[in-house]
Amino acid sequence: MKNLRVLIFSATFGAGHVRAAEALIESIRKINPSAEVKHLDCWAILSKNFNAILTDFYIGMIKRTPKIWGRLYYGTARISSDSILQRFLNNTGHSKYLEYIHSFQPELIICTYPTVAGVIARLKVKKIVNIPLVVVITDYTVHNQWIHSGVDLYIVGSTDIYNSFVSMGINAASIKVTGIPVSPKFECDLDRSQIMANLGLLPNLPTCLIMGGAYGVLSELRELCKTLAGTLIPSQSIVVCGQDKHLYKSLDDVIDNARNPMVRYGYVRNVDELMSAADIVITKAGGLTVSEALTKRLPIIIYKPIPGQEQENAAFLERIGAGRTANTRTELERILLSLLEHPEKMESMRHAAANALPGHAADRAVQHMLELVEESTNSVQVR
């Protein structure tokens, strides 16, 4: 399989779809260094302007009207496979995708975003494309936009999803529970004391990591930081503001007047290091962020999960005992301060996080994908 060619489709809005794709690329190149991998944004290759509008629309909706997003999410989950809307979605951009498939001639296609998965699956059903197709589910919930005839392999994050897929009639052999793929660097044990020194934090204080998301969508973050900065419970905080420059600037006086140490960052690429330094994380409930935190064995507090996949991801964390959900700032402060006062509760959550996932999710997923390619190749040779 020296000349393996892999075509990966993801989507930039939501960020997690891209991070899952990047994690798989890392593992593919580790396992098969000579592989050729092409990673495409399924919306940007159709129209960069439309992609920008779609991204702004999505971010604006989850920030300002999350309930509307929730209705859209659950509404699209009820679309039947033979409906006019579903047929339209499964035709969207098919000629452009075919152009990339024909020019690159991949031996494997991976989709970490549902809409493009439906398009490629339809091309397979119509026998226009005859290439193994893998769909990677990037949340801990079932949504029928991920499920399509023509998919050869589903990579899922938990046994709950596996069982739900089987109950829906999907062949159990085509579903593999690996955990949601995260970058292999989250599997590494880092030198926490060195990281703390680099961050300018004290090694023995409980450390809270607050992540506002890539676009700063964690609401009321400034007020939460004020609480942590002034609490009588000894602690320290790392605040990630993402691309929200206004939020970053608004923390000037909070940090200047803080009783407890606090450092802040904008958009970062060393989340694995920050999570290694933390004792608990407060974040949104994106599937990749949740998976990264679980891989780092971190207790998680989800704040105001967006209706839809975030609420489902938060419910998953509650079920396994690794997370708590807060829907108001008062509730968030109560949960956080209770955990800081009772470290044994955090330790119990950390233990649950450590046992939640199989580990090495990206490597496991890639091994299953390579087996699929080998099976496909052998089948063609037999014929």
User: Percent of the chain having pLDDT more than 90?
Assistant: 74
CB count within 10 Å of CB 245 equals: 12
Exposure string over 254-283, b if 16+ CB within 10 A, otherwise e: beeebebbbebbeeeeebbbbbbbbbbbbb
Average pLDDT over the chain, rounded to an integer: 92
The CA distance from 291 to 187, in Å, is: 11
The CA distance from 211 to 218, in Å, is: 7
Q: Is the pLDDT of residue 215 over 90?
A: no
Residue 62 in contact with residue 55, Cβ under 8 Å? Answer: no
The whole-number pLDDT of residue 222 equals: 87
Mean pLDDT, residues 225-243: 91
Q: Is the pLDDT of residue 14 over 80?
A: no
CB count within 10 Å of CB 84 equals: 9
Structural fold of domain 5-179+359-382: Rossmann fold (3.40.50)
Exposure string over 105-126, b if 16+ CB within 10 A, otherwise e: ebbbbbbbbbbbbbbbbbbbee
Domain with CATH 3.40.50.2000 in the chain: 5-179+359-382, 188-354
250-266: per-residue pLDDT in tens?
A: 999 999 999 999 999 99
134-161: per-residue pLDDT in tens?
A: 999 999 999 989 999 999 999 999 999 9
Per-residue confidence at 55, pLDDT binned at 50, 70, 90?
confident
Mean pLDDT, residues 39-63: 86
What is the amino acid identity at position 306? I
pTM: 0.92
The CA distance from 170 to 174, in Å, is: 8
270-299: per-residue pLDDT in tens?
A: 999 999 999 999 999 999 999 999 999 999
Residue with tokens 């938060």, as numbered in its chain? 314
Per-residue confidence at 312, pLDDT binned at 50, 70, 90?
very high
CA angle 368/372/373 to nearest 5° reads 120
The CA distance from 158 to 180, in Å, is: 8
Enter the tokens of residue 37: 């991998």
Cα dihedral 59/65/66/67 (nearest 10): -150
The whole-number pLDDT of residue 214 equals: 55
324-369: per-residue pLDDT in tens?
A: 999 988 899 899 999 999 999 999 999 999 999 989 999 999 999 9
The whole-number pLDDT of residue 2 equals: 60
Residues 6+ apart with CB under 8 A from 42: 9, 10, 11, 93, 97, 111, 113, 115, 116
Mean pLDDT, residues 108-115: 97
The whole-number pLDDT of residue 217 equals: 52
Mean pLDDT, residues 162-174: 96
Residue with tokens 């964390």, as numbered in its chain? 317
Residue 1 in contact with residue 374, Cβ under 8 Å? Answer: yes
The whole-number pLDDT of residue 40 equals: 96
The CA distance from 377 to 168, in Å, is: 29
Enter the tokens of residue 296: 């780092």
The CA distance from 368 to 110, in Å, is: 12
Measure CA of the first residue to CA of the last residue in the chain; give whole Å.
19
Residue 20 in contact with residue 112, Cβ under 8 Å? Answer: yes
Q: Is the pLDDT of residue 76 over 70?
A: yes
Enter the tokens of residue 105: 């001639």
Enter the tokens of residue 285: 């409930």
The whole-number pLDDT of residue 84 equals: 87
Residue 260 in contact with residue 229, Cβ under 8 Å? Answer: yes
* Pure H helices in the chain: 16-31, 48-64, 66-76, 84-89, 94-104, 114-125, 159-167, 192-199, 221-230, 245-250, 252-256, 271-277, 287-295, 309-320, 329-341, 343-354, 361-382
Q: At what angle do helices 309-320 and 287-295 cross, to 10 degrees?
A: 20
**Class of domain 188-354 as given by CATH:** alpha beta
Name which of 74-88, 197-211, 291-305, 357-371 the model is least confident about.
Answer: 74-88
Per-residue confidence at 45, pLDDT binned at 50, 70, 90?
very high
The whole-number pLDDT of residue 274 equals: 97
81: left (phi > 0), else alpha (psi -120 to 50), else beta?
alpha
* Higher-scoring residue by pLDDT: 382, 70: 70
* Higher-scoring residue by pLDDT: 214, 206: 206
Q: Is the pLDDT of residue 383 over 70?
A: no
The whole-number pLDDT of residue 287 equals: 95
81-106: per-residue pLDDT in tens?
A: 778 888 888 888 899 999 999 999 99
The whole-number pLDDT of residue 169 equals: 93
User: Percent of the chain having pLDDT more than 70?
Assistant: 96
How far from 238 is each of 23, 31, 55, CA to CA, in Å?
24, 34, 27
